[in-house]
Amino acid sequence: MKYAAGIDVGGTTVKLGLFDDTGRLLEKWEIPTRTEEGGRNVLPDTAASLRGHLAERNASTADLLGAGIGVPGAVMQDGTVNRCVNLGWGVFSLTGKLSALLDGVKVSAGNDANVAALGEQWKGGGQGRHNIVMVTLGTGVGGGIVINDRILTGAFGAAGEIGHIQMRDDEPETCGCGKHGCLEQYASARGIARVAGKYLADHPEKKSALRTADHISARVVFNAAKKGDATAREIVEIVCEYLGKGLASVAEVVDPEIFVIGGGVSKAGPILTDTIKKYYVRYVFHASRGTAFALARLGNDAGIYGAARMVLSRF
C-alpha cells in the first residue's frame, strides 16, 4: 500500500495525517511545535514522527507517494518559504528541506490558509466545485483560493489575503499588518468583539444581554443574536455587512462558484452565511448574485486534507 502524508504546521501544534492513495484518512495525530531556536526543530520533529507512524505500519518513507505541508506564512510556487513569523522561520526551501529529511520523497508546500481551502474543496464544504474561495474567520481573517482544482498562490505568495482588503478610510486603530480599515479589523473573532464593544458604547440606550456578559467574544455575540437579543442581532448585521461587501469585491475579481466559510467564528452556523449572503447580493455585480455560500466541514482537519490532496492530485 502507498501512502500520502498531510502535514499542517501551526504555531502550537503540528497536525499530521496518513492517507491511502484513494484519499482516505487512515490516521491523524499531533505533535507540539517547538518554535524555540528559530523553529529549527519543527521539520526534523515532524519527519521523525512521520517515520515512527510509518514504522508502526511496517512501512517506511519508500512507501510514501509524497508529503504535502501547509505552513503559516507565504510559500512561493517553487516551494520557498518567505518567513513564518509564528515559527521563527526565515527564507529557505521548505520543499527541499523536508524532502531531504524524508529520504527524497516529493514534497509539495503551500500557505496554510490556501492548503485548507484545497482540503475543503476536495472533501469539505466546497466538494464538487472547481473554483472556490475559502474564508477563515479566526484570530484573523484568512482566505484561500482554488481555481480549476489548484491553489492560487500569487506572485508574492499573497493571493487570498482577503483579510487585508481596505473597508474603511476613517479607521483610527491599526491592523496587525500596519494598515487601517482592513476587513480583519471588523470580521475576525477579535474584530467582531471590538465592533460589539464599540456599538454598545455608542448606543448606551440599547438594552442587551451583552451588557452583563463577563466577556464579549464573537461567540457570545452570535449566541445572543440567536436567542433573540435585538442589539446583538444589530451587531451581527454590521459584521456581516462588512463581510458581504468585502466578499463582493472578491467576486468582482475571481467570481467563484462558492464561498466556504470556516474558522472558529463559523461555528455560529447558518445565521452567519445567511446574513453575509444577504449583504453580498446587495453589493456584488449582478452577474455574480448566484454565488453559493456554505460552512466549512472539515474543521481543524482541512489542512491535512489539503496537504494530502497536493500529493494525490499529482497522480
Binding site for a second copy (CB under 8 A): 74, 82, 131, 143, 145, 147, 152-162, 164-166, 177-179, 245, 248-257, 283, 285-288, 290-291
Question: How many CB atoms are located within 10 Å of the residue 149 CB?
Answer: 14
Longest pairwise C-alpha distance within the chain: 68
Which of 160/303 has CB closer to a second copy?
Answer: 160
Q: CB of 233: closest distance to a second copy in angstroms?
A: 21
Which of 6/163 has CB closer to a second copy?
Answer: 163
Under 8 Å between Cβ of 113 and 152: no
Which of 29/283 has CB closer to a second copy?
Answer: 283
Q: CB of 250: closest distance to a second copy in angstroms?
A: 5
Q: Tell me the C-alpha distance between 230 and 264, whole Å.
A: 23
Which of 129/226 has CB closer to a second copy?
Answer: 129
Taken in order 133, 134, 137, 142, the sign of the CA dihedral is negative
Outline where 4-41 has alpha helix (H).
36-39
Q: Tell me the C-alpha distance between 268 and 226, whole Å.
A: 9
Q: CB of 254: closest distance to a second copy in angstroms?
A: 5
Outline where the chain has alpha helix (H).
36-39, 42-56, 94-101, 112-123, 184-187, 189-202, 218-226, 230-254, 270-283, 302-312
Which of 99/273 has CB closer to a second copy?
Answer: 273
Question: How many CB atoms are located within 10 Å of the residue 82 CB?
Answer: 17
Structural element, H or E, at residue 141: strand 141-147
Q: CB of 114: closest distance to a second copy in angstroms?
A: 11
Which of 100/254 has CB closer to a second copy?
Answer: 254
Residue 10 has phi, psi (to 5 degrees) of: -115, 175
Q: CB of 289: closest distance to a second copy in angstroms?
A: 8
Which of 101/258 has CB closer to a second copy?
Answer: 258
Cell numbers given for 94: 521548505
Q: Tell me the C-alpha distance between 251 and 291, whole Å.
A: 9
Q: CB of 141: closest distance to a second copy in angstroms?
A: 11
Q: CB of 19: closest distance to a second copy in angstroms?
A: 26
Q: CB of 44: closest distance to a second copy in angstroms?
A: 28
Q: What is the number of helices (H) and of strands (E) in the chain?
A: 10, 13
Which of 8/161 has CB closer to a second copy?
Answer: 161
